[in-house]
């Protein structure tokens, strides 16, 4: 069976690398700059779209995602120009999803109508916490009141709205989280992303944690309990998890992120953006220059990508497995084994099934609720021993 | 141009570790201008990295010092630096036979310690003239009078004329040189015309020159071109070179009776030579070899396995090479269900074990898993046959066994009074039987009959920790005795792990079993399923713990940009597993095999 990358869908990711301040937990490619030359960035994005679309040829575009950094700091007309250019370069699907990540501050809320007019039809807001103490501890610039006001604006402008919370924070008890999540579910529209705080290397939190200056983080058992509370409350509220950390009313899943997890095709433009593109029987991985200035220079010179690499079939299998098992729906076993017959061997699957960590049904394989909490180990057990 | 015997002094230095033996040797070499000042470095005589790092001597070394004495004559002083550790007791006693006198170095701030005693007794047995030297008198804590008295009380030799020195500052070193000349005897009359009779003191491998033997000539003369025979091993060789250490190798025309030096005879392997062997000429051999030769026998055994199974062949090469240079180290291939292919190795003692393991890891770059050290048990079958058990995993069904004997040692511990209680408790816990307890000036000396098995593992560490490092310890083997011994198996996830099996005394089995299970529970990482850990004797479980299942191991965020990075992380995680041993469905980290056996209390 030829690798059917076309079934995963096709999306465009646009990275806007600027923020007003750097959050201490964040390891995204985000930078704080005083002045951004919007005209140069516009030219760079548009020329990248032209270049990549020439390479991909005509395809049906099912999603555009503005991520960051803080893309809600972009001028609305720049967002609109990019959407227009993308829709001209590829064929937009009838139900094209255009998502933009927004920080919940008043400055940004003022732009929401402009974004909608530019073609954005879904907004994802970084609320992160619903109490001011924890927001401060997370180094966020907004207050709960400001965030709620921004959220109300969003509700009046967009139909599809998601927001992010970070939990398993310092000194957060199971009860604290239960209360906060209940409140969030009261507010929620059709989608929620609920991430457990991860201490990422290279961040200020990492350094603090290393010095022992980040006390009160949950241990494995408490983190697992909090995850289970999350599942319980979200299920009851009609927003079940469709992925490890993502919850939606059935049908309101993020189409864009599903492309990643279904291991579909995506173009990535902007600093540090990654892409995966099918070409014939193979798959290409792209990675753009990470530094904003370097990317801008490279894009202006004709190509913002730093690395273009074919992905060997066994690595495609690893990626496909690693992404696919994150989804509640699981993935097609046959697709995996066509990429690398050694992956997910019958023996490895039998052992995991025996321990109640995976299920198999109609040729699909997926992680059980318990298995999803142990996904790194489960994936590790399904990979062949000799790489 | 042999030196007249009356101008030769052959001696060694005996001391407890850290009392200043190496420093004193450095000073003697320095003061006599044996080495140019700019070539002087510390611990001149300890050549191997391991020796320098640990401050121990493993191989005997010699140095020849020319000393113009106050009487106007120049004397040749040959110092043999012997290994100081119990593991090498036999080598020490042979080296001692090669010299006529000893400097007994005692740290004036510490006094007599267990190794002082063990070593000085070997010197006395070898009929040495002994010159007591009290070192470190530069330190304010030095109590030369008290230590002098202690030497007289405990060892029973006259210490009134002990040299008071500081090997560090050089104070008193000239007196030591004069004492060597005036108080130690010259070599006994040897006959340069009699057939050659020389003692092989030690031999070591030099990567450029091959095997170099240190020899002491008793009778006759040894020179380049001679054809020699080793009387015990039977090997014959042509002598390529003879010389002395100053401490650099220096060629001489010949070595005569009473002298100490080296010989190089294109011997391929150290294993072809035996410490204590007698060297003679092939053509005109001496009539009787030197008495008291005995090959050394290993007493402590353990399994060594490569961490990475792919290193097995490299490890085999390395072990064979090392064995060529160390006749006292034995090895045979072993397969373990838990650890795969490896070797069961025999050593003279724990230090010897550590030295060999260190060298394998360091010089050959092979990471090793070491299983618990064990001793040789004598198993008596019901049909009367005796079987030597080197590995608890090989223990037959008890129904065939009539009884088991284990090796016992006589251990001497010296310790300040205030820690005596803890030491007695420790020895009692380890099934010791007290043989003696005496006090000498604020210190207690206790002698215990102990099972070697209880000592080989962590006794010394425990002793150091309960006495804050103030105890000193020494032992000798005293033979085998029957006891109520059983094999305890460890089951992880219901499967026995052979590498963790051990022999224990029946009365201590529950306690050891519980401790092992608790330790393993800490050492084995959580898995995706829960894991029972049990200790059992035969089919009977005597201790049990359960390691609960891992609950959370998932990346919270993983989007398009993360695929590459997370994939790398997975690969790294997979590589980390190589450091673990797969046992059934369970992965056991390599350090668990040794750490699980350490007893904290
Ligand atoms: N203060 C002082 N320290 C000494 C003296 N002699 C040796 N040492 C120190 O004691 C330690 C052990 O000495 P070393 O010669 O290695 O002992 P060895 O184990 O008997 O060979 C080293 O740190 C030496 O520097 C001395 O006379 N005075
Ligand atoms: C691209 S980021 C942020 C978008 C936007 N700039 C913001 O901060 O609201 C997407 C989401 O990842 C989550 N996130 C970022 N770093 C995280 C971390 N170290 N641990 C857990 N979640 C994290 C946050 O919830 C964040 O909203
Ligand atoms: S969390 Fe969001 S706002 Fe904070 S630095 Fe990262 S991208 Fe910027
Ligand atoms: Mg020394």
DSSP-derived secondary structure for B142-157: --HHHHHHHIIIII--
Q: Are residues A131 and A31 in the same domain?
A: yes
Cα separation of A231 and B357, whole Å? 52
Which of A224, A259, A294 marks a domain boundary?
Answer: A259
Q: Can you read off the two tokens belonging to residue B293? A: 């030769």
Q: What is the number of the ligand 3 atom nearest to the C-alpha of A22?
A: 5
Query: Å from A34 to nearest chain B CA?
Result: 26
Question: Residue B68's Cα: distance from chain center in Å?
Answer: 37
Report whether A221 contacts B551 (CB < 8 A): yes
Give domain status of residue A302, yes or no: no
pLDDT value for B86: 64
Taking the Cβ of residue B337 and every Cβ of chain A, the question of whether any pair is shorter than 8 Å is answered with no
A345-348: long-range contacts, CB 8 A cutoff, minimum separation 24: A345/A382, A345/A384, A348/A381, A348/A382
Task: Say which residue the tokens 């989804």 belong to.
Answer: A327
Question: Residue A324's Cα: distance from chain center in Å?
Answer: 14
Burial B254-276 (b: 16+ CB within 10 A, else e): bbbbbbbbbbbbebeebbbbbbb
| Number of domains, chain A | 2
pLDDT score of B545 more than 50:
yes
Report whether B45 contacts B204 (CB < 8 A): no
- Closest chain A residue to the Cα of B584, Cα to Cα: A351
Taking the Cβ of residue B572 and every Cβ of chain A, the question of whether any pair is shorter than 8 Å is answered with no
Closest CB to B573: pick one of A260, A357, A380: A380
Q: Identify the weakest region by mean pLDDT among B228-232, B498-502, B535-539.
A: B498-502
* Other Cβ atoms closer than 10 A to B600: 9
Whether B564 and A326 lie within 8 Å, measured CB to CB: no
CA neighbor of B181 nearest in space, from B258, B70, B104: B70
Minimum CA distance residue for ligand 2 atom 7: A126
Return per-residue pLDDT of chain A as tens, 387 residues: 444 555 678 999 999 999 999 999 999 999 999 899 999 999 999 999 999 999 999 999 999 999 999 999 999 999 999 999 999 999 999 999 999 999 999 878 899 999 999 999 999 999 999 999 999 999 999 999 999 999 999 999 999 999 999 999 999 999 999 999 999 999 999 999 999 999 999 999 999 999 999 999 999 999 999 999 999 999 999 999 999 999 999 999 999 999 999 999 999 999 999 999 998 778 999 999 999 999 999 999 999 999 999 999 999 999 999 999 999 999 999 999 999 999 999 999 999 999 999 999 999 999 999 999 999 999 999 998 765
Q: Are residues A248 and A330 in the same domain?
A: no
Question: Which amino acids of B are annotated as binding site, given as ranges?
Answer: 18-23, 135-138
pLDDT score of B582 more than 60:
yes
Give domain status of residue A32, yes or no: yes
Q: Are residues A165 and A243 in the same domain?
A: yes
Ligand 2 midpoint to CA A191 (Å): 15
Closest CB to A273: pick one of B553, B554, B561: B561
Q: Are residues A238 and A338 in the same domain?
A: no
Report whether B566 contacts B558 (CB < 8 A): yes
B52 or B432, which is more confident:
B432
B468 sits in the region (left: phi over 0; alpha: psi -120 to 50; else beta) called left
Query: Å from B559 to nearest chain A CA?
Result: 6
Whether B556 and A195 lie within 8 Å, measured CB to CB: yes
Q: Probe ligand 3: pick from A126, A198, A292, max atoms within 8 Å of CB? A: A126
Question: Edge-to-edge strand order for the sheet containing B61-68?
Answer: B61-68, B74-81, B8-15, B101-107, B129-135, B163-164
Query: Å from B569 to nearest chain A CA?
Result: 10
Q: Are residues A341 and A243 in the same domain?
A: no
Query: Between the CA of residue A117 and those of A111, A157, B366, what are the distances in Å?
Result: 10, 10, 66
Q: Probe ligand 3: pick from A30, A127, A147, max atoms within 8 Å of CB? A: A30
Q: Identify the weakest region by mean pLDDT among A290-294, B444-448, B455-459, B543-547.
A: B455-459
Q: Are residues A243 and A364 in the same domain?
A: no
User: Which domains can be identified in chain B, with CATH numbers?
Assistant: 5-183 (3.40.50.300), 197-281 (2.40.30.10), 300-371 (3.30.70.870), 377-483 (3.30.70.240), 487-598 (3.30.70.2570)
Give domain status of residue A316, yes or no: no
Query: Å from B308 to nearest chain A CA?
Result: 14
**Average pLDDT in the B26-36 region?**
81
The CB of A138 under 6 Å from ligand 3? The reply is: no
Whether B555 and A268 lie within 8 Å, measured CB to CB: no
Cα separation of B426 and B462, whole Å? 8
Taking the Cβ of residue B386 and every Cβ of chain A, the question of whether any pair is shorter than 8 Å is answered with no
pLDDT value for B338: 72
Give domain status of residue A91, yes or no: yes
Q: Identify the weakest region by mean pLDDT among A175-179, A296-300, B22-26, B119-123.
A: B119-123
- Chain B residues with CB-CB distance to A387 below 8 A: 571, 574
Query: Å from B466 to nearest chain A CA?
Result: 31
B375 sits in the region (left: phi over 0; alpha: psi -120 to 50; else beta) called beta
Query: Between the CA of residue B485 and those of A197, B171, B360, B377, what are the distances in Å?
Result: 54, 55, 33, 10
- Return the beta strands (E) in B431-539 as ranges: 433-440, 443-451, 472-483, 485-492, 495-496, 502-505, 531-537
**Average pLDDT in the B79-108 region?**
84
- Chain A residues with CB-CB distance to B558 below 8 A: 244, 260, 322-323, 326
Q: Are residues A93 and A234 in the same domain?
A: yes
Suggest the residue from B308, B309, B559, B585 to mutate for an interface test with chain A (most A CBs closer than 10 A).
Answer: B559
Cα separation of A2 and B262, whole Å? 75
pLDDT score of B47 more than 60:
no
**Average pLDDT in the B471-484 region?**
87
Query: Å from A140 to nearest chain B CA?
Result: 19
- Chain B residues with CB-CB distance to A257 below 8 A: 559
Pairing state between β B531-537 and B502-505: unpaired
DSSP for A174-226, written as a single string: HHHHHHHHHHHHHH--SEEEEEE----TTSHHHHHHHTT-STT---HHHHHHH
Ligand 1 midpoint to CA B107 (Å): 9
How long a stretch of residues is chain B? 601
Give domain status of residue A271, yes or no: no
Whether B561 and A221 lie within 8 Å, measured CB to CB: no
Ligand 2 midpoint to CA A27 (Å): 9
pLDDT score of B600 more than 60:
no
* Other Cβ atoms closer than 10 A to B305: 27
Task: Return the SS3 of B381.
Answer: strand
Task: Say which residue the tokens 């079987």 belong to.
Answer: B387
Residues 6+ apart with CB under 8 A from A233: A178, A181, A182, A185
Residues 6+ apart with CB under 8 A from A301: none
Give the DSSP letter of residue B397: P
Q: Can you read off the two tokens belonging to residue B49? A: 């990295």
Whether B561 and A319 lie within 8 Å, measured CB to CB: no
Give domain status of residue A274, yes or no: no
Angle between helices B89-97 and B114-125 (to 10 degrees): 40
Residue B601 binned pLDDT confidence (cut-offs 50, 70, 90): very low
Taking the Cβ of residue B565 and every Cβ of chain A, the question of whether any pair is shorter than 8 Å is answered with no
Q: Are residues A340 and A241 in the same domain?
A: no
Q: What is the number of the ligand 1 atom nearest to the C-alpha of B23?
A: 15
pLDDT value for A386: 62
pLDDT value for B354: 82
Q: Probe ligand 1: pick from B13, B14, B20, B171, max atoms within 8 Å of CB? A: B20
Taking the Cβ of residue B528 and every Cβ of chain A, the question of whether any pair is shorter than 8 Å is answered with yes
pLDDT value for A2: 43
Closest CB to A274: pick one of B554, B560, B573: B560
CA neighbor of B535 nearest in space, from B587, B492, B578: B492
Residue B168, burial from CB neighbour count under 10 angstroms (0-12, 13-18, 19+): middle
Parent domain of A348: 326-381
Which of A211, A230, A259 marks a domain boundary?
Answer: A259
Whether B554 and A376 lie within 8 Å, measured CB to CB: yes
Task: Please measure the distance between the N-terminal and C-terminal CA atoms of chain B and give it in whole angstroms.
Answer: 63
pLDDT value for B1: 45
Cα separation of A343 and A382, whole Å? 6
Cα separation of A290 and A30, whole Å? 10
Taking the Cβ of residue B558 and every Cβ of chain A, the question of whether any pair is shorter than 8 Å is answered with yes
Residues 6+ apart with CB under 8 A from B314: B306, B364, B366
Ligand 4 midpoint to CA B80 (Å): 13
**Average pLDDT in the B29-41 region?**
74
Q: Are residues A331 and A246 in the same domain?
A: no
Give domain status of residue A286, yes or no: no
Report whether B405 contacts B503 (CB < 8 A): no
DSSP for A347-385, written as a single string: HHHHHHHHTTSEEEETTEEEE-HHHHHTHHHHHHHHS-S
Ligand 2 midpoint to CA A194 (Å): 10
Task: Return the SS3 of B78.
Answer: strand
Ligand 4 midpoint to CA B172 (Å): 20
- Beta bridge mates, B102: B12, B130
**Average pLDDT in the B267-274 region?**
85
- Beta bridge mates, B405: B378, B482
Q: Are residues A202 and A346 in the same domain?
A: no
Which of A217, A242, A259 marks a domain boundary?
Answer: A259
Whether A221 and B551 lie within 8 Å, measured CB to CB: yes
Give the pocket of ligand 1 (CB within 6 Å): B 15, 17-23, 55, 135-136, 138-139, 166-168
Residue B69 binned pLDDT confidence (cut-offs 50, 70, 90): very high
pLDDT value for B24: 93
B474 or A234, which is more confident:
A234
Suggest the residue from A128, A205, A255, A377 to mutate for an interface test with chain B (most B CBs closer than 10 A).
Answer: A377
Q: Are residues A235 and A350 in the same domain?
A: no
Question: Which amino acids of B are annotated as binding site for GTP, given as ranges?
Answer: 18-23, 135-138
For B554-571, write each residue's pLDDT tens digit. 999 999 888 888 888 888
Query: CA angle, corner B313, sides to B308 and B317, nearest 5?
Result: 120
Residue A306, burial from CB neighbour count under 10 angstroms (0-12, 13-18, 19+): middle
CATH of the domain at A44: 3.20.20.70
Ligand 2 midpoint to CA B176 (Å): 76
DSSP for B163-222, written as a single string: EE--TTT-TTHHHHHHHHHHHSPPPPP--TTSPPEEEEEEEEEETTTEEEEEEEEEESEE
Whether A377 and B567 lie within 8 Å, measured CB to CB: no
Residue B93 binned pLDDT confidence (cut-offs 50, 70, 90): confident
pLDDT value for A1: 41
Instruction: Record the pTM.
Output: 0.68
Give domain status of residue A104, yes or no: yes
Residue B82 binned pLDDT confidence (cut-offs 50, 70, 90): confident
- Chain B residues with CB-CB distance to A13 below 8 A: 560-561
A93 or B471, which is more confident:
A93
For B398-430, write each residue's pLDDT tens digit. 888 999 999 999 998 888 888 999 999 999 999
Q: What is the number of the ligand 3 atom nearest to the C-alpha of A139?
A: 4
Q: Read off φ and ψ for residue B336, nearest 5 degrees.
A: -125, 140
Residue B362 binned pLDDT confidence (cut-offs 50, 70, 90): confident
Cα separation of B271 and A2, whole Å? 64
């Amino acid at each position: 069976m030829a690798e059917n990358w076309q079934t995963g869908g096709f999306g465009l990711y646009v990275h806007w690398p600027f923020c007003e301040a750097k959050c201490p937990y964040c390891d995204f490619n985000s930078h704080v700059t005083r002045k951004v030359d919007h005209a140069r960035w516009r030219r760079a994005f548009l020329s990248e779209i032209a270049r990549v679309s020439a390479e991909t040829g005509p395809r049906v575009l099912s999603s555009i995602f503005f991520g960051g950094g803080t893309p809600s700091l972009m001028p609305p007309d720049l967002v609109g120009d990019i959407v227009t250019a993308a829709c001209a370069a590829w064929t937009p699907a009838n139900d094209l999803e255009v998502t933009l990540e927004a920080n919940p501050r008043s400055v940004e809320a003022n732009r929401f109508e402009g974004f909608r007019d530019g073609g954005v039809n879904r907004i994802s807001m970084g609320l992160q916490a619903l109490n001011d103490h924890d927001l401060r501890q997370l180094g966020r610039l907004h207050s709960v009141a400001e965030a709620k006001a921004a959220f109300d604006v969003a509700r009046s402008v967009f139909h599809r709205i998601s927001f992010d919370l970070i939990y398993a924070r310092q000194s957060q008890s199971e009860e604290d989280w239960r209360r906060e999540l209940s409140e969030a579910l009261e507010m929620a529209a059709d989608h929620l992303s609920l991430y457990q705080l991860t201490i990422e290397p290279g961040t200020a939190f990492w350094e603090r944690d290393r010095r022992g200056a980040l006390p009160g983080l949950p241990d494995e058992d408490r983190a697992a309990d909090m995850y289970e509370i999350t599942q319980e409350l979200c299920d009851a509220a009609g927003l079940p998890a469709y992925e490890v950390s993502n919850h939606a009313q059935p049908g309101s899943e993020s189409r864009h992120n599903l492309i990643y997890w279904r291991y579909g095709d995506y173009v990535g433009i902007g600093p540090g953006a990654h892409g995966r593109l099918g070409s014939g029987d193979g798959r290409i991985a792209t990675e753009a220059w990470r530094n904003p200035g370097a990317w801008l220079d490279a894009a202006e010179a004709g190509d913002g990508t730093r690395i273009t690499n074919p992905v060997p079939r066994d690595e495609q299998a690893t990626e496909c497995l690693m992404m696919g098992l994150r989804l509640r729906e699981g993935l097609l076993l046959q697709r995996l084994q066509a990429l690398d017959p050694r992956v997910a061997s019958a023996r490895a699957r039998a052992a995991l099934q025996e321990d109640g960590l995976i299920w198999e049904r109609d040729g699909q394989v997926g992680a059980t609720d318990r298995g999803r909490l142990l996904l790194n180990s489960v994936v590790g057990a399904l990979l062949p021993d000799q790489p | 141009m042999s030196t007249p015997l009356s101008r030769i002094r052959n001696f060694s230095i005996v001391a407890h570790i850290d009392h200043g033996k190496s420093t004193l040797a450095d000073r003697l070499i320095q003061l006599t201008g044996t080495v140019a000042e700019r070539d002087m470095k510390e611990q001149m005589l300890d050549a191997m990295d391991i020796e320098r790092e640990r401050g121990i001597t493993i191989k005997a070394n010699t140095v020849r010092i020319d000393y113009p004495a106050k009487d106007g004559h120049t004397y040749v002083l040959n110092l043999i630096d012997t290994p100081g550790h119990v593991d090498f007791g036999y080598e020490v006693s042979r080296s001692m036979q090669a010299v006529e006198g000893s400097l007994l170095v005692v740290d004036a701030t510490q006094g007599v310690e267990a190794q002082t005693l063990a070593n000085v007794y070997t010197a006395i047995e070898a009929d040495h003239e002994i010159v007591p030297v009290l070192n470190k008198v530069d330190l304010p804590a030095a109590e030369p009078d008290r230590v002098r008295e202690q030497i007289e009380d405990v060892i029973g030799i006259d210490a009134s004329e002990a040299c008071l020195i500081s090997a560090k500052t050089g104070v008193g070193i000239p007196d030591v040189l004069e004492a060597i000349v005036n108080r130690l005897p010259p070599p006994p009359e040897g006959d340069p015309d009699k057939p050659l009779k020389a003692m092989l003191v030690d031999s070591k491998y030099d990567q450029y020159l091959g095997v170099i033997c240190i020899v002491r000539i008793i009778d006759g003369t040894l020179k380049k071109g001679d054809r020699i025979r080793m009387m015990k091993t039977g090997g014959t060789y042509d002598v390529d070179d003879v010389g002395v250490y100053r401490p650099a190798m220096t060629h001489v025309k010949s070595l005569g009776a009473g002298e100490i030096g080296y010989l190089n005879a294109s011997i391929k392997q150290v294993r072809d030579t035996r410490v204590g062997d007698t060297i003679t000429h092939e053509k005109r051999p001496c009539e009787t070899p030197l008495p008291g030769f005995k090959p050394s026998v290993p007493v402590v055994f353990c399994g060594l396995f490569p961490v990475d199974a792919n290193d097995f062949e490299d490890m085999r090469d390395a072990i064979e090479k090392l064995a060529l240079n160390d006749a006292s180290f034995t090895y045979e291939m072993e397969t373990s269900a838990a650890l795969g292919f490896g070797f069961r190795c025999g050593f003279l003692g724990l230090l010897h074990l550590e030295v060999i393991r260190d060298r394998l890891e360091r010089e050959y770059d092979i990471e090793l898993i070491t299983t618990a050290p064990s001793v040789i048990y004598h198993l008596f079958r019901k049909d009367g046959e005796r079987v030597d058990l080197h590995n608890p995993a090989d223990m037959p069904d008890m129904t065939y066994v009539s009884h088991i004997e284990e090796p016992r040692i006589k251990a001497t511990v010296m310790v300040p009074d205030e820690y005596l209680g803890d030491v007695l408790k420790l020895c009692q816990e380890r099934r010791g039987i007290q043989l003696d307890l005496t006090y000498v000036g604020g210190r207690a000396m206790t002698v215990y009959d102990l099972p070697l098995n209880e000592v080989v593992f962590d006794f010394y560490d425990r002793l150091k920790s309960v006495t804050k490092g103030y105890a000193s310890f020494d032992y000798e083997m005293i033979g085998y005795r029957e006891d109520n011994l059983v094999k305890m198996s460890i089951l992880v996830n219901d499967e026995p792990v052979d590498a963790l099996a051990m022999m224990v005394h029946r009365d201590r089995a529950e306690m050891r079993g519980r401790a092992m299970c608790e330790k393993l529970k800490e050492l084995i990482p959580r898995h995706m399923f829960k894991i029972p850990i049990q200790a059992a004797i035969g089919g009977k479980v005597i201790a049990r713990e359960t390691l609960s299942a891992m609950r959370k191991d998932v990346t919270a965020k993983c989007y398009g940009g993360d695929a590459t990075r997370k994939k790398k992380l997975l690969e790294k995680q997979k590589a980390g597993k190589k450091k673990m041993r797969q046992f059934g469905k369970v992965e056991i980290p390599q350090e668990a095999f040794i750490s699980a056996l350490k007893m904290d209390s």
